[in-house]
Amino acid sequence: MLELIFKGGLVMWVIGGCSVIGAVIFLERLFHLHRAQINADDFLEGIYNVLRRRNVVEAVSICEETPGPVAHIMRSAILHGDRDREQLRQAIEQAGMSEIPRLERNMALLATMAQLTPLLGLLGTVLGMMETLWQLHQRAPLLQVGDLAGGLWQALITTAFGLAVAIPLYAGYNFLLQRLETILLDMETASVDILNFLSKPALPVEVDV
């Protein structure tokens, strides 16, 4: 494997660096999104049962102990439950907006790595072909097959390695994007539910916590 990397030249090391960075980002985001995604329906029902007993302190405590943006939105909504509907809606929206950057962190960088590596492979191919043509120019007419091997190796290896890195990175990015969209949908659903729940006149919610 190291022999192939050396034959691929400097571009191979750049592609290898991109693969390491991409793998680290993917694993970190996978762990983060796994923690952030909870069973929103069960969580909301549990919070509503606590609030129906008018135990605001316990509801806030449950939200603080539960990871993920849905719990953060619920906590913000409960703490602003004594406001009018418009103010409550603004508090919920602000809480949701503050969670989005944390969810999307480094996702753009992962997509960049997936798009960059095949281009680097193409660059390595061009450089390899330039090396081959240079050898043709320098050694003609006494050219041997071995004189062309270095450039051809670089052209083929960098292309193959660039694609081999880009394919799993792109697949991983789309997998994470699907998880992210599911979490965002849960956040939106939870925001509407808690807004309607706390806006009911029959549910006095005091926030002396």
pLDDT at 32 over 70: yes
**Peptide bond just before 118 cis, omega within 30 deg:** no
pLDDT in tens, 176-206: 999 999 999 999 999 999 998 888 754 444 4
pLDDT in tens, 102-114: 999 999 999 999 9
Rounded-to-integer distance, Cα 110 and Cα 113, Å: 5
Rounded-to-integer distance, Cα 173 and Cα 177, Å: 6
pLDDT in tens, 66-111: 999 999 999 999 998 888 888 999 999 999 999 999 999 999 999 9
Rounded-to-integer distance, Cα 27 and Cα 20, Å: 11
pTM: 0.79
pLDDT at 143 over 70: no
Per-domain boundaries in the chain:
2-198
Per 3-state DSSP, the chain is made up of helix, strand and coil in percentages (nearest 5) of 85, 0, 15
Rounded-to-integer distance, Cα 192 and Cα 74, Å: 11
- Residue of 128, 133, 134, 136 whose CA lies nearest to 152: 128
First to last CA, the chain: 61
